[in-house]
Structure 1
């Protein structure tokens, strides 16, 4: 991917010494692929959209959390009432002398999510951080770094892997559902059975899900399946039928119909556009050489 947009530190920090700044996006519009001169945390509060990070598409909604390095290329597309906070920071400006990589892991190809409780706690810290980072005096810089450490620890305590590996607290209904869905993309997800297993009201859970994400559970599942399909078509040599099966479709013909309806391209045509792009890049490199 060719990226011409690079976001500069000077446009986001009040001074060359401030280590952290908060860029709230309410709502977040579509934004083209870009990189930064700084690192970034992205926390999604509401709505939904498509987040493409290093060419991998992620369907994002409330509770999703991303750690981005300066050279990570990302963009936002197909947004629907998407509200998030970008907490941007420059590690070289920190003065506490901590090993920040212990608190701020890379995504490493997987997504993180915050529990409902974690979102509430993080929001409170970010509100304080937003006030302090707008100043430029020494005390505010120190307090900003301390608040950022508090935020990093809060995220570390309350985040969980989107594939459902970690044990979630009881009562986190939306988190339990999200984790279960993420772990069963390749199989049929039975919402009624899930609610029965966890003694939850299916109607109330559907209402909560739609209120927080702007989607029904069924729509969310379908978009997750299509995101995985796009990634597999672009990054693997799997046959179309295998892609369909790995994304929860029993019928490859039905998969092709759904994929074409949602993207405007057949699975084969979608794959070919990236194959042609790779060939052009290779020809360019050979020509330049």
Structure 2
């Protein structure tokens, strides 16, 4: 029996019926079951790591990740470790400024974005102001809250980049350069020494910076990306296990099965069978044989 997700109400997070925006600080964010909202939400991750499952697709998250969620997007948090984030809650129907918000905020189901280090610093300052003003209920505070939300939306638009696409990042954004490079090597080996030589960076210092900001090693982060991609491919397509392994950076499908089983508690085949019908499972089993 499938349990319906929790539904979070506006009144529990935005006490004033007129206020369009609120900030829900999560320091830390604990594991949280699947839920939907009566409001839209922007999630900005500041520190730590965990697994964010959005509309049944898992995403490994750490500092700099951004998610734009609509009211009926279902998401949850799992396997969290010192995860610190802010939820920017907003109700589009309460906005008073005559703006095309669809042009300022990404369309739904566009996956995960990342924010540059410079963008994180700018966004953090605006969010602190937004948190103060959104707790009030007078007209001026409501207007200022919406203006601050507009400022935040513009900062995110200017400083974000798609995590799964090549991007020219500003010089000096060491962590962002590294994140973009790692996410571009899910299906192929990533050589940190070569990357550091190419960008004239200290390998030791970069490892320390990554561990400090994310709470995990570079190798662990890459492995989480590979496993999340494997979960998505196993659930959403009919690729053979060996093909999934290859697309996720594993040359040996047996080793892939060992790693996947160790991390999830299920074999790749058992994971897939959770999401497909009996007839389709039988077809895939025959094709594999």
Same fold, TM exceeding 0.5?
yes
Contact 1:59-1:223 within 8 A present in 2 as well = yes
Residue in structure 2 matched with residue 161 of structure 1 by the alignment:
162
Residue in structure 1 matched with residue 41 of structure 2 by the alignment:
40
Residue in structure 2 matched with residue 285 of structure 1 by the alignment:
none
Cα distance, 1:183 vs structure 2? 1.1
SS across alignment from 2:244: helix
How far does the alpha carbon of each residue in 1:109-137 deviate from its partner, in whole angstroms, 9 at most, with x for none? 43100000000000000000000000000
Whole-Å Cα distance in 1 between the matches of residues 145 and 59 of structure 2?
Answer: 30
Matching of residue 28 in structure 1 with residue 22 in structure 2: no
Whole-Å Cα distance in 2 between the matches of residues 172 and 156 of structure 1?
Answer: 17
Matched ranges for 1:1-289 at <5 A: 2-275=3-276
Cα distance, 1:166 vs structure 2? 2.3
Whole-Å Cα distance in 2 between the matches of residues 278 and 38 of structure 1?
Answer: 39
- 5+ residue gaps, structure 2, are 281-289
How far does the alpha carbon of each residue in 1:82-127 deviate from its partner, in whole angstroms, 9 at most, with x for none? 0000000001100001000111112534310000000000000000
1:278–1:124 distance in 2 versus 1, CA, 3 Å = farther
Residue in structure 1 matched with residue 287 of structure 2 by the alignment:
none
Residue in structure 2 matched with residue 283 of structure 1 by the alignment:
none
Whole-Å Cα distance in 1 between the matches of residues 268 and 255 of structure 2?
Answer: 11
- 5+ residue gaps, structure 1, are 280-289
SS across alignment from 1:163: coil
Whole-Å Cα distance in 2 between the matches of residues 228 and 71 of structure 1?
Answer: 23
Contact 2:5-2:74 within 8 A present in 1 as well = no
How far does the alpha carbon of each residue in 1:134-193 deviate from its partner, in whole angstroms, 9 at most, with x for none? 000000000000000000000000000102422100000000000011111000000110
Cα distance, 1:273 vs structure 2? 1.7
Whole-Å Cα distance in 2 between the matches of residues 73 and 224 of structure 1?
Answer: 21
1:242–1:58 distance in 2 versus 1, CA, 3 Å = same
Whole-Å Cα distance in 2 between the matches of residues 184 and 84 of structure 1?
Answer: 26
Whole-Å Cα distance in 2 between the matches of residues 104 and 229 of structure 1?
Answer: 29
The count of aligned residue pairs is 279
Contact 1:68-1:106 within 8 A present in 2 as well = no
Whole-Å Cα distance in 1 between the matches of residues 164 and 57 of structure 2?
Answer: 16
TM-score (normalised: structure 2): 0.94
Contact 1:14-1:135 within 8 A present in 2 as well = no
Cα distance, 1:4 vs structure 2? 3.4
Contact 1:164-1:180 within 8 A present in 2 as well = no
Residue in structure 2 matched with residue 282 of structure 1 by the alignment:
none
Cα distance, 1:278 vs structure 2? 10
Cα distance, 1:3 vs structure 2? 2.7
Contact 2:70-2:108 within 8 A present in 1 as well = no
Residue in structure 1 matched with residue 284 of structure 2 by the alignment:
none
